[in-house]
């Protein structure tokens, strides 16, 4: 197994994640890499995105939904909404998923995926896990986001 660079790992990850999503998610997902060390997937709101980045201090990759809206109340509303679903999220994805406040009034629903050498096999495992996270969280996110739009037109 030939290891790849972190740049190669991240740049080719979308081509492995997207095909594992449901067709509606495949058709609406957008991808961006604002910095070389992370990758983001979103559905029309770049500040509310799924993210992949290397967490050196915990020797793993953070995979999850980041709510980084400038509207701190929106971030908090989304976090509280996800917390109401945390038992079913953990039932689907496992106990490693956390939902918490973060920096600058941001929030996140995430896990630290254990680090391994950056091989094609490991990349596929990370892609599968991220796709599973998106498939699990996106319907909840869409419902919560719809609730906000209903009250704040």
Q: pLDDT tens, 119-134? A: 999 999 999 999 999 9
- 35 closest CA partner among 49, 15, 16: 49
Structure tokens at 52: 């992949």
Range of the domain at 99: 6-120+130-144
pLDDT above 80: residue 148: no
Q: Is 103 exposed, middle or buried (0-12, 13-18, 19+ CB in 10 A)?
A: exposed
Average pLDDT along the chain: 94
pLDDT, tens digit, for every residue of 37-92? Answer: 899 999 999 999 999 999 988 889 999 999 999 999 999 999 999 999 999 999 99
In a domain, residue 40? The reply is yes
Do the domain assignments include residue 93?
Answer: yes
How much is the average pLDDT of 107-113?
A: 97
Residue 50: its pLDDT value, please? Answer: 98
Look at residue 136 and tell me if it is in a domain: yes
């Amino acid at each position: 197994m030939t290891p790849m660079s972190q740049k190669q790992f991240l740049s080719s990850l979308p081509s492995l994640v997207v095909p594992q999503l449901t067709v509606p998610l495949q058709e609406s997902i957008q991808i961006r890499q604002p910095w070389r060390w992370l990758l983001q997937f979103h559905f029309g709101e770049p500040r509310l995105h799924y993210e992949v980045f290397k967490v050196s201090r915990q020797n793993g990759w953070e995979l999850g939904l980041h709510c980084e809206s400038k509207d701190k109340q929106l971030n908090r509303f989304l976090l509280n909404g996800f917390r109401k679903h945390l038992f079913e999220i953990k039932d689907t994805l496992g106990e490693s998923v956390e939902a918490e406040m973060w920096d600058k009034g941001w929030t996140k629903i995430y896990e630290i995926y254990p680090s391994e050498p950056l091989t094609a096999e490991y990349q596929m495992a990370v892609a599968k896990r991220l796709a599973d996270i998106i498939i699990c969280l996106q319907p909840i996110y869409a419902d919560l986001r719809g609730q906000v739009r209903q009250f704040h037109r």
